[in-house]
Amino acid sequence: MTTPSEIWVLCGGATHRDAPRDALRLSIGPDARESMRVDIEGVSRALTGRLSGKLIDLVRIAAFVLGADGAVSRGKLDDADGGKKWHRHFRLIVAVEDPTFWKQSEVTRALEETLGFLSQDTFAFEFQPLVPQKGRKKKTGEQLVFSCQDGKPFLPWDHIEEISLFSGGLDSFAGAAELILAQRRNTILVSHRSASKMWATQKWLVDALRGLAPV
Protein backbone atom coordinates (compact mmCIF):
# COMPACT_ATOMS: atom_id res chain seq x y z
CA MET A 1 0.00 0.00 0.00
CA THR A 2 1.17 3.49 -0.77
CA THR A 3 1.71 6.19 1.84
CA PRO A 4 0.43 9.77 1.36
CA SER A 5 3.95 11.07 0.79
CA GLU A 6 4.99 8.40 -1.72
CA ILE A 7 5.27 9.58 -5.32
CA TRP A 8 4.51 6.88 -7.89
CA VAL A 9 6.24 7.16 -11.27
CA LEU A 10 5.30 4.79 -14.11
CA CYS A 11 8.15 4.75 -16.64
CA GLY A 12 8.37 3.61 -20.25
CA GLY A 13 4.88 2.15 -20.45
CA ALA A 14 5.10 0.25 -17.15
CA THR A 15 1.92 -0.40 -15.19
CA HIS A 16 1.12 -1.43 -11.62
CA ARG A 17 -2.18 -2.46 -10.06
CA ASP A 18 -1.48 -0.45 -6.90
CA ALA A 19 -0.48 2.76 -8.68
CA PRO A 20 -2.75 5.72 -7.83
CA ARG A 21 -4.66 7.52 -10.55
CA ASP A 22 -2.48 10.60 -10.20
CA ALA A 23 0.76 8.64 -10.69
CA LEU A 24 3.34 10.49 -12.77
CA ARG A 25 3.78 8.82 -16.17
CA LEU A 26 7.03 9.28 -18.07
CA SER A 27 8.11 7.97 -21.46
CA ILE A 28 10.95 8.60 -23.84
CA GLY A 29 10.94 8.67 -27.61
CA PRO A 30 11.65 10.58 -30.78
CA ASP A 31 8.34 12.40 -31.25
CA ALA A 32 6.67 15.35 -29.56
CA ARG A 33 4.00 13.23 -27.88
CA GLU A 34 6.57 11.66 -25.59
CA SER A 35 7.45 13.18 -22.24
CA MET A 36 11.19 13.28 -22.86
CA ARG A 37 13.58 13.05 -25.77
CA VAL A 38 16.54 10.74 -25.17
CA ASP A 39 18.79 9.99 -28.12
CA ILE A 40 20.05 6.42 -27.94
CA GLU A 41 21.20 6.37 -31.51
CA GLY A 42 24.98 6.22 -31.59
CA VAL A 43 28.14 6.85 -29.65
CA SER A 44 30.84 8.58 -31.66
CA ARG A 45 32.33 5.92 -33.91
CA ALA A 46 35.78 6.79 -32.67
CA LEU A 47 34.75 6.11 -29.08
CA THR A 48 33.03 2.76 -28.91
CA GLY A 49 30.91 0.15 -30.63
CA ARG A 50 27.46 -1.18 -29.87
CA LEU A 51 26.17 -0.80 -26.36
CA SER A 52 24.68 -3.60 -24.30
CA GLY A 53 21.04 -3.72 -23.29
CA LYS A 54 22.05 -3.17 -19.66
CA LEU A 55 23.80 0.11 -20.48
CA ILE A 56 20.87 1.28 -22.57
CA ASP A 57 18.59 0.41 -19.65
CA LEU A 58 20.82 2.48 -17.36
CA VAL A 59 20.46 5.50 -19.64
CA ARG A 60 16.69 5.08 -19.62
CA ILE A 61 16.60 4.77 -15.83
CA ALA A 62 18.74 7.91 -15.48
CA ALA A 63 16.39 9.80 -17.82
CA PHE A 64 13.34 8.74 -15.81
CA VAL A 65 14.97 9.75 -12.52
CA LEU A 66 15.84 13.13 -14.02
CA GLY A 67 12.29 13.54 -15.31
CA ALA A 68 10.76 12.65 -11.94
CA ASP A 69 13.12 15.01 -10.12
CA GLY A 70 12.17 17.89 -12.42
CA ALA A 71 8.43 17.18 -12.22
CA VAL A 72 8.11 17.06 -8.42
CA SER A 73 8.82 20.23 -6.44
CA ARG A 74 10.72 20.19 -3.15
CA GLY A 75 8.57 23.06 -1.94
CA LYS A 76 9.08 26.81 -1.70
CA LEU A 77 11.66 28.73 0.27
CA ASP A 78 8.99 30.13 2.60
CA ASP A 79 7.25 26.79 3.32
CA ALA A 80 6.85 26.44 7.09
CA ASP A 81 6.83 22.64 7.13
CA GLY A 82 10.21 21.91 8.68
CA GLY A 83 11.62 20.80 5.35
CA LYS A 84 9.15 17.91 4.91
CA LYS A 85 8.71 18.64 1.20
CA TRP A 86 12.45 18.65 0.63
CA HIS A 87 12.82 14.90 1.21
CA ARG A 88 10.73 13.20 -1.46
CA HIS A 89 9.80 9.52 -1.58
CA PHE A 90 9.78 8.09 -5.12
CA ARG A 91 8.53 4.69 -6.24
CA LEU A 92 9.56 4.13 -9.85
CA ILE A 93 8.10 1.26 -11.88
CA VAL A 94 10.42 0.99 -14.87
CA ALA A 95 10.17 -1.04 -18.08
CA VAL A 96 13.64 -2.29 -19.09
CA GLU A 97 15.18 -4.65 -21.63
CA ASP A 98 16.87 -6.83 -19.00
CA PRO A 99 14.54 -6.98 -15.97
CA THR A 100 16.26 -10.12 -14.61
CA PHE A 101 19.49 -8.18 -14.12
CA TRP A 102 17.89 -5.10 -12.57
CA LYS A 103 15.70 -7.16 -10.22
CA GLN A 104 18.76 -8.62 -8.50
CA SER A 105 18.61 -7.38 -4.90
CA GLU A 106 22.20 -6.16 -4.86
CA VAL A 107 21.72 -4.23 -8.11
CA THR A 108 18.43 -2.63 -7.04
CA ARG A 109 19.82 -1.78 -3.61
CA ALA A 110 22.96 -0.18 -5.08
CA LEU A 111 20.82 1.95 -7.40
CA GLU A 112 18.48 3.06 -4.62
CA GLU A 113 21.27 3.80 -2.13
CA THR A 114 23.36 5.73 -4.67
CA LEU A 115 20.44 7.95 -5.71
CA GLY A 116 19.43 8.45 -2.09
CA PHE A 117 22.94 9.56 -1.15
CA LEU A 118 23.17 11.98 -4.08
CA SER A 119 19.69 13.51 -3.78
CA GLN A 120 18.63 13.18 -0.12
CA ASP A 121 15.44 11.59 -1.45
CA THR A 122 14.19 8.03 -0.99
CA PHE A 123 13.96 5.78 -4.06
CA ALA A 124 12.27 2.40 -4.49
CA PHE A 125 12.48 0.61 -7.86
CA GLU A 126 10.47 -2.16 -9.47
CA PHE A 127 11.33 -3.44 -12.94
CA GLN A 128 9.18 -4.89 -15.72
CA PRO A 129 9.95 -6.19 -19.24
CA LEU A 130 10.02 -3.49 -21.90
CA VAL A 131 7.12 -3.93 -24.32
CA PRO A 132 7.37 -2.17 -27.72
CA GLN A 133 4.62 0.37 -28.29
CA LYS A 134 1.98 -0.40 -30.91
CA GLY A 135 3.04 0.71 -34.34
CA ARG A 136 6.67 1.14 -33.31
CA LYS A 137 9.27 -1.54 -33.74
CA LYS A 138 11.61 -2.20 -30.86
CA LYS A 139 15.06 -0.92 -31.81
CA THR A 140 18.01 -3.22 -31.62
CA GLY A 141 21.68 -2.33 -31.31
CA GLU A 142 20.89 1.18 -30.13
CA GLN A 143 23.72 3.54 -29.33
CA LEU A 144 24.15 6.76 -27.41
CA VAL A 145 24.78 10.09 -29.07
CA PHE A 146 27.58 12.17 -27.58
CA SER A 147 28.28 15.69 -28.80
CA CYS A 148 31.46 17.65 -28.21
CA GLN A 149 31.88 21.37 -27.91
CA ASP A 150 32.05 22.90 -31.39
CA GLY A 151 32.01 19.37 -32.77
CA LYS A 152 35.61 18.85 -31.64
CA PRO A 153 36.79 16.55 -28.85
CA PHE A 154 38.70 18.08 -25.94
CA LEU A 155 41.52 15.63 -26.72
CA PRO A 156 41.90 12.81 -29.28
CA TRP A 157 39.81 9.86 -28.11
CA ASP A 158 42.68 7.39 -28.20
CA HIS A 159 44.64 9.45 -25.65
CA ILE A 160 41.89 9.82 -23.06
CA GLU A 161 42.97 8.76 -19.56
CA GLU A 162 40.15 10.17 -17.42
CA ILE A 163 36.46 10.97 -17.75
CA SER A 164 35.09 13.66 -15.43
CA LEU A 165 31.57 14.98 -14.92
CA PHE A 166 31.46 18.73 -15.48
CA SER A 167 28.48 20.90 -14.52
CA GLY A 168 30.28 24.23 -14.50
CA GLY A 169 29.99 24.56 -10.73
CA LEU A 170 32.92 25.04 -8.36
CA ASP A 171 33.28 21.37 -7.38
CA SER A 172 33.39 19.98 -10.91
CA PHE A 173 35.63 22.81 -12.12
CA ALA A 174 38.11 22.19 -9.30
CA GLY A 175 38.11 18.47 -10.07
CA ALA A 176 38.71 19.11 -13.77
CA ALA A 177 41.52 21.56 -13.01
CA GLU A 178 43.15 19.04 -10.67
CA LEU A 179 43.07 16.29 -13.30
CA ILE A 180 44.11 18.41 -16.27
CA LEU A 181 46.52 20.96 -14.79
CA ALA A 182 47.94 19.32 -11.65
CA GLN A 183 47.95 15.63 -12.59
CA ARG A 184 48.38 16.35 -16.32
CA ARG A 185 45.88 13.66 -17.21
CA ASN A 186 44.27 13.66 -20.64
CA THR A 187 40.67 14.22 -19.59
CA ILE A 188 37.32 14.38 -21.31
CA LEU A 189 34.62 16.42 -19.60
CA VAL A 190 31.06 15.13 -19.78
CA SER A 191 28.17 17.49 -19.10
CA HIS A 192 24.39 17.55 -19.14
CA ARG A 193 22.19 20.59 -19.67
CA SER A 194 18.44 20.52 -19.06
CA ALA A 195 18.42 24.28 -19.75
CA SER A 196 20.62 26.59 -21.83
CA LYS A 197 21.45 29.13 -19.10
CA MET A 198 24.65 27.31 -18.03
CA TRP A 199 26.05 26.83 -21.51
CA ALA A 200 27.93 30.14 -21.72
CA THR A 201 29.59 29.57 -18.33
CA GLN A 202 30.52 25.98 -19.17
CA LYS A 203 31.99 27.04 -22.51
CA TRP A 204 34.03 29.83 -20.92
CA LEU A 205 35.45 27.51 -18.26
CA VAL A 206 36.28 24.75 -20.75
CA ASP A 207 38.02 27.27 -23.03
CA ALA A 208 40.07 28.47 -20.05
CA LEU A 209 41.09 24.92 -19.15
CA ARG A 210 41.94 24.16 -22.77
CA GLY A 211 44.16 27.24 -22.91
CA LEU A 212 46.05 26.24 -19.75
CA ALA A 213 46.28 22.52 -20.48
CA PRO A 214 49.72 21.13 -21.30
CA VAL A 215 50.22 20.29 -24.96
Pair (184, 154) in one structural domain: yes
Phi, psi (rounded to 5 degrees) for 6: -80, 135
Predicted local distance difference test score (pLDDT) of residue 161: 85
Same domain, 156 and 120: no
Q: Are residues 27 and 85 in the same domain?
A: yes
Of 11-15, 55-59, 106-110, 139-143, the least confident:
139-143
Q: Does position 199 have pLDDT exceeding 50, yes or no? A: yes
Name the residue with higher pLDDT: 72 or 140: 72
Residues 26 and 76 both lie in one domain: yes
Whether residue 102 is found in the same domain as residue 159: no
Residues 36 and 125 in one domain: yes
What is the pLDDT, as a whole number, of residue 115? 94
Q: Give one DSSP letter per residue of 42-85, joined into a string.
A: ---TTT--PPPHHHHHHHHHHHHHHHHHHHS----TT--STTTT
Say yes or no: 153 and 109 in one domain: no
Q: Is 115 found in the same domain as 37?
A: yes
CB under 8 Å to 18, separation ≥6 — which residues?
1, 2
Supply the pLDDT for residue 168. 81
Residue pLDDT, tens place only, 125-145: 999 998 865 555 554 444 444
- Exposure letters 74-86 (e unless 16+ CB within 10 A, then b): beeeeeeeeeeee
Residue 32 has a pLDDT of 42
User: Are residues 68 and 109 both part of a single domain?
Assistant: yes
Is pLDDT above 70 for 67?
yes
**Is the pLDDT assigned to residue 2 strictly greater than 50?**
no
Report the number of distinct structural domains present in the chain.
Answer: 2
Higher per-residue confidence, 85 vs 128? 128
90 and 173 assigned to the same domain: no
Mean pLDDT rounded to a whole number for the chain: 78
Residue-wise pLDDT for 30-62, tens only, equals 554 555 666 555 443 434 455 678 888 888 899
- Residue range(s) defining the domain that contains residue 169: 149-212
Do 115 and 171 sit in the same domain of this protein? no
Please give the average per-residue pLDDT across 144-167, as a whole number.
64
pLDDT given for residue 130 in this prediction: 87
Residue 152 has pLDDT above 70, yes or no: no
* Pair 24, 109 in one domain: yes
Residue 163: what pLDDT? Answer: 85
- Answer whether residue 210 shows pLDDT above 80: yes
